[in-house]
């Protein structure tokens, strides 16, 4: 047995509660390296949003191009997560992790040097592929390093990993706003290069390799191709539909193709059984299904809601990117403070109760913002952000630990890839669902007849709806004379805040349902000894 493998096995000392120094160092380095990588990858999902106006001006990019700069990363990231986790079980988690960090770092340099929007979009897509290879293997590396350790040790390591990623995601708007205002947008990507090189150095020197010996050499190629195509099609359809409408041929075709490819993928996986890329029997474990469901729901409440909240803060209230980041910092601080509380609570009460409490806090926060009106400022959402952060802090450190804690360590890559795949899918579904609600409320309030009564030509109605839904209130009202401009703005503000109120109400009800699901599905007896 080689040295790396022997480090992964518990010694006699560890069995009686004493862990050798070299094993502790290996675990510490593995946790630190993977947590830093996850924070960097997650930050890149949100850090770019606030820089879009500056990028558009510098690269002369259209609105569609700007949307693709954001979505290209998300689409490739979501499409490859499941495949990366499963393949890493067979060929080596550290190999895939190192390749992912290298790809992400090189793509970040290409983003910083991009001469036009096309190159930036392509580089962002490559970034997403690297991010999937990293996040699809990080949890499996931690699970392998902590194999044989007490459950609380692994839970603490995964809690640190998930909390770091969640905080970096929440800090994205603040970091992006600061860099964009005080430096320039290429530095958003250039900063990843030295961090990526540091991660590569630490992983090569200190992180051991781990594989699933039983699965080594057998890659489910058909499942991998179907998973990538299905996840890409579903995410593309949901993201594009929420931005451009659901009647477009590419949106309808993508969602239909995604559904068909998902059914084909499930059929192939069922037939292959234990040799499949995703063993569907994992979903027969209630705790695993519960962890996946809550991972999906958590992104709906956070990233799925974030674009509409950011548009309200910037487009309607006129806050600068940095001030938007400061407002959203309330959620990050609450998450940071609540995460250790959630870890302590899990030692006293069942983890299902901790998850339920977290979802109840999220629901309570959403209820505080229901009824928001056009006269309200950013302080109206402050209680919601604090409670949302506190609820996420209680729940997030446990979700991915539950997913990998109820499967054998050899299948940790597959389990973490499956659980991680539902994060971006939850984001896409949240954006799509809330986008439908927003569009419906805006279209109803700003009907052609209502606009005509204010002196707005009926032919302008579609353009008005599009600008309001995008949070571009001043651009929408600019063409009209002073009396009508103020009236149209007031009506648009009322429509947008009414839509936000409906979104908060839907999210609150969904969070309560998630709380109930956690109590039913998450069971201590499912944990693997």
- Band of the pLDDT at 331, cuts 50, 70, 90? confident
Three-class secondary structure of residue 168 per DSSP: helix
Q: Are residues 211 and 258 in the same domain?
A: no
Measured between alpha carbons, how far is 136 from 95 in angstroms, rounded to an integer? 12
Confidence (pLDDT) at 100: 92
pLDDT in tens, 36-80: 888 888 787 777 777 776 787 788 776 567 767 877 887 788 778
- Band of the pLDDT at 2, cuts 50, 70, 90? very low
Arithmetic mean of pLDDT over the chain: 78
Buried b (16+ CB within 10 A) or exposed e, 402-434: bbbbbbebbbbbbbbbbbbbbbbbbbbbbbbbb
Q: Which of 232, 250, 276 is the last residue of a domain?
A: 276
Confidence (pLDDT) at 108: 93
Give CB contacts under 8 A, 24+ apart, made by 462-467.
Answer: 464/488, 464/492, 465/439
Q: Are residues 259 and 291 in the same domain?
A: no
Does position 19 have pLDDT exceeding 60, yes or no?
Answer: no
Q: Are residues 516 and 400 in the same domain?
A: yes
**Which residue range forms the structural domain that includes residue 339?**
285-529
Which range of 78-92, 379-393, 432-446 scores highest in mean pLDDT? It is 379-393
Confidence (pLDDT) at 21: 66
Q: Are residues 386 and 325 in the same domain?
A: yes
Asked whether the beta carbons of 254 and 233 are under 8 A apart, the reply is: yes
Confidence (pLDDT) at 387: 94
Among 99-113, 177-191, 498-512, name the one with the lowest average pLDDT. Answer: 177-191
Q: Are residues 337 and 191 in the same domain?
A: no
| Residue 146, C-beta contacts closer than 8 angstroms, at least 6 positions apart | 27, 153, 154, 157
Measured between alpha carbons, how far is 259 from 261 in angstroms, rounded to an integer? 6
Q: Give me the percent of the chain exceeding a pLDDT of 90.
A: 12
Q: Are residues 358 and 447 in the same domain?
A: yes
Over residues 481-485, the mean pLDDT reads: 74
Burial class, 393, CB count within 10 angstroms (exposed 0-12 / middle 13-18 / buried 19+) = buried
Confidence (pLDDT) at 111: 93
Confidence (pLDDT) at 18: 46
Q: Are residues 205 and 239 in the same domain?
A: no
Over residues 198-205, the mean pLDDT reads: 88
What is the sign, positive or negative, of the torsion defined by CA atoms of 370, 431, 139, 265? positive
Q: Which of 177, 198, 218 is the last residue of a domain?
A: 218
Does position 360 have pLDDT exceeding 90, yes or no?
Answer: yes
pLDDT in tens, 241-291: 766 667 788 888 888 998 898 888 888 878 876 666 677 777 777 888 888
Confidence (pLDDT) at 1: 37
Does position 13 have pLDDT exceeding 60, yes or no?
Answer: no
Over residues 521-529, the mean pLDDT reads: 65
Confidence (pLDDT) at 91: 78
In terms of pLDDT, which residue wins out, 429 or 113?
113
Assigned token pair, 126: 């490559």
Helices (H) and strands (E) in the chain, counts: 22, 0
Does position 8 have pLDDT exceeding 70, yes or no?
Answer: no
Q: Are residues 376 and 520 in the same domain?
A: yes
Q: Which of 255, 276, 297 is the last residue of a domain?
A: 276
Measured between alpha carbons, how far is 436 from 242 in angstroms, rounded to an integer? 7
In terms of pLDDT, which residue wins out, 32 or 218?
32
Three-class secondary structure of residue 480 per DSSP: coil
Measured between alpha carbons, how far is 33 from 30 in angstroms, rounded to an integer? 5
Asked whether the beta carbons of 419 and 290 are under 8 A apart, the reply is: no
Does position 472 have pLDDT exceeding 60, yes or no?
Answer: yes
Q: Are residues 101 and 239 in the same domain?
A: no
Q: Tokens 């959620």 identify what position? A: 331
Does position 14 have pLDDT exceeding 60, yes or no?
Answer: no
Among 21-35, 372-386, 506-520, name the one with the lowest average pLDDT. Answer: 21-35
Q: Are residues 175 and 308 in the same domain?
A: no
What distances in angstroms separate CA 265 from CA 65, 229, 230, 412, 420, one per listed residue? 31, 10, 8, 20, 18
Q: Are residues 179 and 245 in the same domain?
A: no
Confidence (pLDDT) at 413: 63
Structural domain count of the chain: 3
In terms of pLDDT, which residue wins out, 5 or 413?
413
Confidence (pLDDT) at 411: 66
Q: Are residues 335 and 471 in the same domain?
A: yes
CATH number, domain of 510, equals 1.20.1250.20
Among 103-107, 124-128, 230-234, name the one with the lowest average pLDDT. Answer: 230-234
């Amino acid at each position: 047995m080689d040295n790396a493998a022997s480090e992964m096995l518990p010694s006699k000392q560890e069995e009686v509660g004493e862990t050798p120094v070299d094993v502790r160092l290996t675990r510490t380095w593995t946790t630190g390296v993977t947590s830093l990588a996850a924070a960097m990858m997650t930050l890149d999902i949100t850090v770019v949003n606030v820089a879009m106006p500056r990028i558009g001006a510098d690269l002369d990019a259209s609105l569609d191009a700007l949307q693709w700069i954001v979505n290209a990363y998300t689409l490739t990231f979501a499409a490859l997560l499941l495949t990366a986790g499963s393949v890493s079980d067979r060929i080596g988690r550290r190999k895939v992790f190192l390749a992912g960090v290298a790809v992400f770092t090189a793509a970040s340099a290409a983003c910083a040097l991009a001469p036009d929007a096309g190159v930036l979009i392509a580089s962002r897509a490559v970034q997403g592929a690297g991010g999937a290879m990293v996040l699809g293997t990080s949890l499996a590396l931690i699970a392998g390093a902590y194999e044989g350790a007490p459950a609380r040790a692994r839970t603490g390591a995964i809690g640190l990993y998930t909390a770091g990623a969640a905080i970096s995601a929440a800090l994205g708007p603040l970091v992006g706003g600061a860099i964009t205002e005080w430096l320039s947008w290429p530095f958003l990507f250039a900063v990843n290069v030295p961090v990526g090189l540091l991660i590569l150095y630490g992983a090569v020197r200190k992180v051991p390799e781990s594989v699933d010996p039983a699965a080594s050499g057998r890659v489910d190629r058909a499942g991998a191709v179907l998973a990538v195509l299905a996840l890409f099609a579903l995410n593309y359809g949901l993201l594009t539909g929420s931005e451009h409408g659901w009647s477009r041929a590419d949106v309808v075709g993508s969602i239909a193709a995604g559904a068909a490819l998902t059914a084909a993928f499930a059929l192939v996986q069922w037939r292959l059984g234990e040799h499949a890329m995703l063993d569907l029997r994992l979903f027969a474990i209630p705790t695993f299904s519960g962890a996946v469901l809550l991972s999906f729901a958590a992104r709906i409440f956070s990233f799925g809601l974030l674009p509409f909240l950011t548009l309200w803060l910037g487009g309607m209230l006129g806050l600068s990117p940095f001030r938007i980041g400061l407002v959203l910092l309330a959620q990050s601080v609450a998450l940071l403070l609540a995460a250790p509380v959630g870890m302590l609570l899990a030692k006293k009460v069942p983890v299902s109760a901790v998850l339920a409490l977290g979802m109840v806090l999220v629901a309570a926060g959403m209820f505080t913002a229901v009824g928001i009106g056009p006269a309200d400022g950013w302080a109206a959402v402050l209680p919601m952000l604090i409670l949302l952060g506190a609820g996420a802090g209680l729940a997030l450190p446990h979700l991915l630990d539950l997913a990998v804690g109820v499967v054998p360590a050899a299948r940790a890559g597959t389990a973490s890839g499956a659980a991680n795949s539902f994060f971006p899918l939850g984001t896409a579904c949240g954006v799509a669902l809330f986008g439908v609600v927003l569009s419906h409320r805006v279209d109803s309030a700003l009907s052609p007849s209502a606009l005509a009564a204010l002196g707005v030509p009926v032919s302008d109605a579609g353009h008005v709806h599009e600008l309001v839904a995008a949070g571009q209130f001043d651009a929408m009202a600019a063409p009209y004379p002073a009396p009508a401009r103020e009236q149209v703005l007031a009506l648009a503000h009322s429509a947008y805040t009414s839509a936000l109120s409906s979104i908060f109400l839907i999210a609150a009800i969904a969070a309560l349902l998630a709380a109930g699901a956690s109590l039913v599905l998450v069971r201590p007896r499912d944990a693997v000894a």
